Amino acid sequence: MFQLKTILNTYGTKIKYALRVVFFVAMIFAIRTYVNYLTVVDSIETVNVRTASVQNEMDYAQNFQKKYLASDYGYLFLAHDNSMVFWWEEIILFKSSWDVLESWFNVDLTHIPYRPTEEEQRKMLDPKKAWNLYFAETWEKIN
């Protein structure tokens, strides 16, 4: 016991500094271990997310796209995906009624055999009035 007291009294400050260095090195080792652990956990989560994404793409391709393209109309779907139009198809352009009216008033339509009057054109702005006009004309043709 006496020797221990003598050693502590003689080398006390050196022992304190040595223990502080050992604790500091141990702390650095613990921090590095924890950072490595977090990196591994993050890598595992990233791999799981990528795996789920690839699995979703494979499920889509196998369960939907494969059956979709294997159908009788698969070649049509592929052609439409590539912006190809077949000979029997037409491209339809939808315009608002204001665009149609503007084109009727600004374009010379004398080459067209029937040109609606301005009153008919105004009636065509409202869908209900247009239907009523159509049914009235059809009823006149029947009677």
**Residue 104 is part of which domain span?**
97-142
Q: According to the model, what pLDDT value does residue 6 have? A: 84
Verify that 66 and 106 share a domain, yes or no: no
Please, which residues have CB within 8 angstroms of residue 133's CB and are 6 or more apart in sequence? 120, 123, 124
Q: Tell me the backbone φ, ψ of residue 128, rounded to 5 degrees.
A: -65, -45
Q: According to the model, what pLDDT value does residue 100 have? A: 65
pLDDT in tens, 26-52: 999 999 999 999 999 999 999 999 999
pTM of the model: 0.40
Q: According to the model, what pLDDT value does residue 109 have? A: 54
Count other C-beta atoms under 10 Å from residue 11's C-beta.
Answer: 11
- Would residue 12 count as lying in a domain? yes
- Would residue 21 count as lying in a domain? yes
Instruction: State how many domains the chain has.
Output: 2
Spell out, as residue ranges, where the chain has pLDDT lower than 50. Answer: none
- Would residue 133 count as lying in a domain? yes
- Would residue 134 count as lying in a domain? yes
